Structure 1
Amino acid sequence: MTSLQLRSELFVLDTPPRHGLPGLKMTAKRYYTPFSDSRGLTLLFAHGVGAHKEHWEPMLRYLFSHQNLEQSSNRIREAWCFDWLNHGDAAIINEAALKRRPPGDVSIAEWAAAIASFVRSPFLKGHRLVGFGHSAGSSAIILSTRAFPLRNQPFIAVFLLEPSMLSRELWMSHLLEGETLMRRSTRATLRRRNMFNTREEAANYFRERKPWTGYDPDVFDVFTQHSFHSVVIQNGSEEETKVTFKCDMHHEALAYQDIESHFEATDQYTRVCRVVPVHIVFGTIHDYVPSYYQDCMTDVSQGRSPASVRRVPGAGHGILQQAPEALARAISVGLNSITTDSTSHLLHRL
C-alpha cells in the first residue's frame, strides 16, 4: 500500500422528501490530503450492493498519489464517498425510519436523488465534478444526472466501473439467466451467517469464503473495520453483545432485485454520453456479470458511445475490492484526459 495518508471528515446529509415523508439521511466522507489543490477535481463515489463508502479508501490512496504528480487542473481537490441510504453508517442512522418501510424500499433511484441534492448544495459550488460508480453505484451516479438539464450537466466526466446496467430488451432476451442470477444473489445473502461473537471471529469467517477470499488485503481490512457494528441481544434472562452487519441482510438481498433502476440508468446513460465524457473500466473476468452487459454499454449502434473503455487484467466484477491499485491506474488515464476547457461546466452555472 502507498504510504499516503488520507484525511477524512464524516458528514450526515439530508435527502429530499419522498411521498410526502421526510427523506432519509445519507452518510458521506470527504477525503483530502495536505497537497489537495483547489484548482483540481472533486470526485464523487457511489458503491455497489453490500459495500459501503469506505471500500473506496485503498483505491483512493493510490489515485491521490498518481494525480499528485499531474498538472494542478488534473490533481484531486477532494473526494466524496456516499453510503447507499440503507448501507454502511447510513443504515445505522436510518434504522428506525427503515423499519417503517418494507425491505428493499430504498431504490437506487432514491439514492440517486439524494446524490443529486448534494451536488446542488453549497458544499460543491464552483467545483469541477467527476462522478464514479461501481456496479449498482454506476446506475446511481447516472440516474443522479436526471435532476439536471441534459446540456448543463454538473459532471465534467463520469466513470462507470463494472456497471451492472442493462437495457430492458437485453434483459428480456436473457430473462431466465438474469432471474437465476438475481435469485442466486438474493439467496446467498439471506443464507450468509450474520451474527458473530467478535469482529475477529467475523473476519476469520469471511477470510475463507468467496468473494472475500479474492479481496485485496487492504480492502479486506476496510471491510472488517467498517462493515460491522455491535448489537445487544436478549439470550433468555441475560443480554449478550454480538457483532453483525450494519446493512440488514434483507435490505442487501432485495437490492439485487431493483432491476428497473438499471434499465432507467441505461436509457439515461445513452443520453448523457452524448454530452459528457463517460469512461468505462471493466475487469477481464466474467465471474458475475455476463459479457453481454459489457456489450450493451459499448453498443454504438444504440447510441452508447463511451469516451474510453479500459480493462483491468485478472479482475472480475469486484474490481474495486480485488485490484484497487490497477483500478487507480486505469482511472488516472481517464482523469488525465480531462482538459481545462471543462471549467465551462462549473457547478455555479446551474
Structure 2
Amino acid sequence: MSPLQLRSELFVFDTPPLHGLPGLKMTAKRYYTSSSDSQGLTLLFAHGIGAHKEHWEPMLRYLFSHQNLQQQSCIREAWCFDWLNHGDAAVINKTALERRSPGDVSIAEWAAAIASFVKSPFLRDHRLVGLGHSAGSSAIILATRAFPMRNQPFVAVFLLEPSMLTRELWMSHLVERETLMRRSTRATLRRPHMFDTWEEASNYYRKRKPWAGWNHEVFDIFTQYGFHSVGTHDGSKKETKVALKCDLLHEALAYQDIESHFEATDQYTRLCRVVPVHIVFGTIPDYIPSYFQDCMTDVSQGRSPASVKRVSGAGHGILQQNPEALARAVSVGLNSIMRDSASHLMHRL
C-alpha cells in the first residue's frame, strides 16, 4: 500500500513543575490529512527510550492510509510527543537539563506533561486514544492518573510492546533484569555521540544493532531528526559537528527508571476495568521476555486487556521494524472502538 502524505505542525508547550523542579518544555507534532474526520478519534503517541516523536511517522502514514480506504476514516488527528530529554525537547531544554541530575526526567514527569496537554484547550471535546511504545506505554498509562478513574478522557489505550512489570516479578527475576539493565546502560554510554558529518553518523548506525534491522523509512527518520549540527572548539579552531539530540547519559539512565514501570503496571490493572486497553506484541522475544507479556495478560490479577494482537517478524522494536504491520494491528483496534461507540449510541436511542 502506498502511504499518504501527512501534514504536520510543530508545537512547544510548557510543562508543570514536579517535586519542586521547574517545568521543562515538551515538543510535539500534530499530524492530519485533508480527509481527516472532525468527528473521529484524536490519537496521542509516546515513544520509547532513545527514540523521538518522528519515529511514528512511517507507521502513521500507513495508519491514515488504512483508514482512508474505508468509507469513513475514524481518525481526526494524531499528536506525537518527545520525552522531555529526547528529540527536539532535548535541544530546547539543554540549559535547564544541565541544572538537573541526568536521571531526573522520569517517565512519570513526562506523563504529567502529557496529562497537562490533555487538559489544555487543544483537546477540548476530542475523543482521545493513547498509544505508547515500550517506555512510552508507561508514560501513557501514568498520564491517566491525573484524571478520576471513572471519568477518563481516554476512550481507549494501546500498549505496543509495553515494558511494564510488577515489582514482585522484577524481584523474582532480579539477577536477569539488573544484568540487562547494566548491559543496556553500558552499551549506550559506549556509543559515540558526535560525528564529523551526517553521512558518518548514518553509516555508523546503519551497520549496528538494533538500527541495522530497522525499516528503511524509520531509519531515515532517525538520522534526519535524531541529530543536529553543533559548534565545537578545538583550541582556536571552530568546527561544526553532528551530534545526537538526546544526550547519551540521559538515554542510559532512562533504563534505570524502573519505579515508573511498576507504578504504570499498578495503574494499568485499575484502568483496564474502566477503559478498553489493547495490547500489541511482537512475536520475537528479543528484549522483553515472555513473562512481561504474561504479566500484562494475567486475568487472575485483574489485568484483562480488551484485545491482544501479535505482529509476526517483529520484536521489541516493533515500531521501527515493521511500521506497516503495526499500523494494520492498531487500525483493527480503532475500528472496534468506533463500532462499539456506534452500537452504544444505537442502544441509547
**Short-chain TM bin:** over 0.9
TM-score (norm 1): 0.96
Contact 1:207 1:213 in 2 (8 A): yes
User: Do structure 1's residue 41 and structure 2's residue 33 form an aligned pair?
Assistant: no
CA deviation map 1:256-295 (0-9, x unaligned): 0000000000000000000000000000001111111011
CA deviation map 1:207-260 (0-9, x unaligned): 110000100000010000000011111112211111110000000000000000
Q: Which ranges in structure 1 are unaligned for 5 or more consecutive residues?
A: 346-350
Point out the more displaced range, 10-19 or 89-98. 10-19
1:300 and 1:184 mapped to 2: Cα distance?
32
Please give the secondary structure, in 2, of the residue aligned with 1:77. strand
2:133 and 2:169 mapped to 1: Cα distance?
21
Aligned partner of 1:65 in structure 2 is 65
- Aligned residue pair count: 344
Query: In the TM superposition, what is the alpha-carbon distance from 1:20 to its structure 2 partner?
Result: 3.7
Letter in 2 for 1:23: G
Query: In the TM superposition, what is the alpha-carbon distance from 1:322 to its structure 2 partner?
Result: 0.1
Please give the secondary structure, in 2, of the residue aligned with 1:279. strand
Q: How does 1:1-350 map to 2 (within 5 A)?
A: 2-72=2-72, 75-339=74-338, 342=341
Query: In the TM superposition, what is the alpha-carbon distance from 1:2 to its structure 2 partner?
Result: 2.3
Query: In the TM superposition, what is the alpha-carbon distance from 1:18 to its structure 2 partner?
Result: 2.2
1:115 and 1:4 mapped to 2: Cα distance?
27
1:295 and 1:20 mapped to 2: Cα distance?
37
1:17 and 1:341 mapped to 2: Cα distance?
38
Please give the secondary structure, in 2, of the residue aligned with 1:34. coil
Contact 2:3 2:65 in 1 (8 A): no
Query: In the TM superposition, what is the alpha-carbon distance from 1:40 to its structure 2 partner?
Result: 0.7
Please give the secondary structure, in 1, of the residue aligned with 2:202. helix
Letter in 2 for 1:250: L
2:13 and 2:206 mapped to 1: Cα distance?
33
Contact 1:41 1:127 in 2 (8 A): yes
2:108 and 2:21 mapped to 1: Cα distance?
16
Please give the secondary structure, in 2, of the residue aligned with 1:337. helix
Higher relative contact order (CA 8 A, sep 6+): 1
Contact 1:156 1:342 in 2 (8 A): no
Letter in 2 for 1:38: S
1:231 and 1:50 mapped to 2: Cα distance?
19
1:339 and 1:6 mapped to 2: Cα distance?
22
1:276 and 1:319 mapped to 2: Cα distance?
24
1:341 and 1:317 mapped to 2: Cα distance?
30
2:21 and 2:294 mapped to 1: Cα distance?
40
1:41 and 1:154 mapped to 2: Cα distance?
12
Query: In the TM superposition, what is the alpha-carbon distance from 1:3 to its structure 2 partner?
Result: 4.2
CA deviation map 1:2-61 (0-9, x unaligned): 241100000001111223443100000000000011011100000000000000000000
Query: In the TM superposition, what is the alpha-carbon distance from 1:327 to its structure 2 partner?
Result: 0.3
2:327 and 2:101 mapped to 1: Cα distance?
37
Aligned partner of 2:347 in structure 1 is none
Please give the secondary structure, in 1, of the residue aligned with 2:162. coil
Compared CA separation, residues 14 and 233, structure 1 to 2 (3 A): same
1:204 and 1:39 mapped to 2: Cα distance?
44
1:137 and 1:256 mapped to 2: Cα distance?
12
Contact 1:68 1:76 in 2 (8 A): no
Contact 1:45 1:133 in 2 (8 A): yes
Query: In the TM superposition, what is the alpha-carbon distance from 1:199 to its structure 2 partner?
Result: 0.8
Please give the secondary structure, in 1, of the residue aligned with 2:336. coil
1:3 and 1:307 mapped to 2: Cα distance?
28
Contact 1:230 1:241 in 2 (8 A): yes
Point out the more displaced range, 113-122 or 2-11. 2-11
Q: Percentage identity across aligned positions?
A: 82
Q: Which ranges in structure 2 are unaligned for 5 or more consecutive residues?
A: 345-349
Query: In the TM superposition, what is the alpha-carbon distance from 1:339 to its structure 2 partner?
Result: 3.1
Aligned partner of 1:348 in structure 2 is none
Aligned-residue CA RMSD in angstroms? 1.5
